[in-house]
Amino acid sequence: MRGSDRKEGFSVHAVSGTRAVHLGMNARQDATRDLVGFGVGRRVGPGQDIRWLNGFKTFREVVPDPQRGDYFPTVEQPIQDFKWGHYSALPDETNHYVVRPLFRPQNGDLSNLRAGTDLEVTIRTEKEDDGEHSVLFNRGAIVSQAYADRFAGDTGLSEDELAAELDDPGAERTQWLSRGLLEAALGFIAQARSSRFSLHCAFYELTYLPILKALADAAGAGATVEVAFEADHYMTGAKKRVESSQGKRNRAAIAGYQGKPRLHFRERIHHISIPHNKFIVLVENGRPIAVWTGSTNITSSGFLGQSNVGHIVRDEAVVAAYLAYFRQIAADTQRADLKAWINQHSPNPTVLATGKTTPLFSPRTNDSMLDWYGDRMDEASQTILLTSAFGVTPKLAERFNNDRDYLRYILMEQESRGAGAQEMLERDSDTRIVLGQGLGTTGRLGHWKDIPGWKLEKWMWREHHYRSSGHVFFCHTKYMVIDPLTDDPKVFSGSANFSGASLKNNDENMLLIRGNQAVADIYTTEFFRLLNHFYFRQVANRTAEDGRSDPDIRYLNPDDSWVAGHFRAQNYRSKRRELFGIPA
């Protein structure tokens, strides 16, 4: 949902997802003289008192020695930026935001700022279930001040103790990290509560006990439950079955559930590379009702660690397509036969109809869908948002290497490799790349390392990740949003990593959605929630690597000198202000 207000040379534009709201401020440049920032607050209701949101930066003259854990009302220590994110919103909730321009007084006393005219916008967050779509994002920000503050004591837990807590859906830590993702998955499965229902699941990683138990409970209630999973790998050249590491983990996890009535495990071994799907189809009395899909593996890390999304679709044609695809997977269809089936039933789309959802399945005969994705990127007029767990393939990287005058954003786990992909991504200054990471550039991932010159330990809690091994720790989502703030947004989301391998070699699925503003707003606000979170850590780490320090990072500018970069032609901050704001 979107809303806006403009008064006396200033404006605010709000975009809400389900649990995140993005505010974009704008101004006429002649109205910004002596502007020292914005106060941002919320009213409980129209005309009610303002509850000012907090920030951590201060005017040195007012708070010369801020301490760790100190936060300050933004009406006193304002935001010196033209954007702000509210990330503790709740779904289907009306929010009344107040944005107050604040100015340096003529006497220079920064403890008594001069207030401009308040901008006010009322906006309702999206529902987690709009009848057709439900989009759920987990916290995805383990290395955060909130986690370090809330669960500082977990550094004393053994790995077994921590694992046991994360296996408990009712534990405070589990619920905080899940942020509704696990609860939604369990609720989806729990709909299969009698013999009228069946569940049909295709999983790559299948080790998380709460989900296994929920599937067993559904079978115990009378539902038929089928689970296709990676068991091992059949090597065609050697004509033999070979144990795979993931197959070994999966088989060990399901051992206690084998042989239960109405719970059927289907081994998938005749795959090309990996059977990478993560979806569940719900059927009632033979009718396809809903499908759960997205990027979330059935692991504790999938639900509670790395950033992930679960996307539920309730469209009978879409769900029927997933069910037909599941039948091929569950039969462990030979590779060539599966590709032939997909060529017939899931061809490359020609035109995406507005307001429609189109499913796409793999493995495919070739990777021509990369060109299709690239063509959609070339059609963009406003911006592109892309997440990538394993870097960007050269075929898409070259689409970022252009002179189009709009911003593109990439949030990824690791830099791209091969064929100059990373160089192409970095060539155009309008492409902003942010890597998932914790503070500190060496040592165990995500665990705090002091950065010389920054003195972060004086005012930040020591962050750490609860995992110390694995492949993806921060950014695991696989989605792209094109022109999200227009009337014709496009969202592509699923299990595939926008790579040749995901198209030709893996079992994969994607949702192609056009013209659904609510879905686009959810993906967009969640994208920037994580991008902003990791951007600070990236700046700190790279500055330290270059041998530079920024001891004044916590202090605000005492005058309007911070504003100039937001209005300088071709400057990133100026383009960002125009992207998220509306004319003032």
DSSP code for 289? E
**Percentage of the residues of the chain whose pLDDT score is greater than 70:** 94
Tell me the pLDDT tens digit for each residue of 267-319.
999 999 999 999 999 999 999 999 999 999 999 999 999 999 999 999 999 99
Tell me the pLDDT tens digit for each residue of 204-236.
999 999 999 999 999 999 999 999 999 999 999
Lowest mean pLDDT among 437-441, 472-476, 482-486: 437-441
Are 390 and 506 in contact, with CB atoms under 8 Å apart?
no
If pLDDT is split at 50, 70 and 90, which confidence band does 158 have? confident
In DSSP terms, which residues pair with 197 in a beta bridge?
Answer: 284
The size of the chain, in residues, is 584
pLDDT at 70 over 90: no
- Per the prediction, the chain carries an average pLDDT of 93
pLDDT at 441 over 60: no
DSSP code for 347? P
Taking residues 134-161, what's their average pLDDT?
83
Lowest mean pLDDT among 336-340, 383-387, 547-551, 576-580: 547-551
* DSSP track, 470-487: SS-SSB---EEEESTTSS
pLDDT at 123 over 90: yes
Distances (CA, A) of 487 to 6, 358, 515, 517, 518: 21, 19, 7, 7, 11
What pLDDT, on the 0 to 100 scale, is given for residue 547? 64
If pLDDT is split at 50, 70 and 90, which confidence band does 153 have? low
SS3 assignment, position 23 = strand
DSSP code for 445? T
What pLDDT, on the 0 to 100 scale, is given for residue 447? 58
Structure tokens at 163: 């694992």
pLDDT at 258 over 50: yes
- Residue appearing with tokens 């996307």: 311
Query: CB-based contacts of 289: which residues, under 8 Å, 6+ apart?
Result: 191, 282, 283, 314, 316, 319
Query: CB-based contacts of 245: which residues, under 8 Å, 6+ apart?
Result: none
Distances (CA, A) of 101 to 33, 243, 333, 411, 574: 11, 63, 62, 31, 18
CA-wise closest residue to 381 among 357, 356, 405, 361: 405
What pLDDT, on the 0 to 100 scale, is given for residue 418? 77
Question: Max CA-CA distance within the chain?
Answer: 84
If pLDDT is split at 50, 70 and 90, which confidence band does 463 have? confident
Tell me the pLDDT tens digit for each residue of 327-347.
999 999 999 999 999 999 999
For residue 363, whether the previous peptide bond is cis, meaning omega lies within 30 degrees of 0, is yes
pLDDT at 549 over 90: no
Amino acid at 60: R
Domains and CATH numbers, the chain: 2-124 (2.60.40.10), 369-563 (3.30.870.10)
Answer whether 0.85 is exceeded by the pTM.
yes
How many CB atoms are located within 10 Å of the residue 112 CB? 9
Q: Rounded to 5 degrees, what are φ and ψ at 136?
A: -125, 125
If pLDDT is split at 50, 70 and 90, which confidence band does 47 have? confident
- H/E/C letters for each residue in 110-134? CCCCEECCCEEEEEECCCCCCCCEE
Tell me the pLDDT tens digit for each residue of 368-381.
999 999 999 999 99
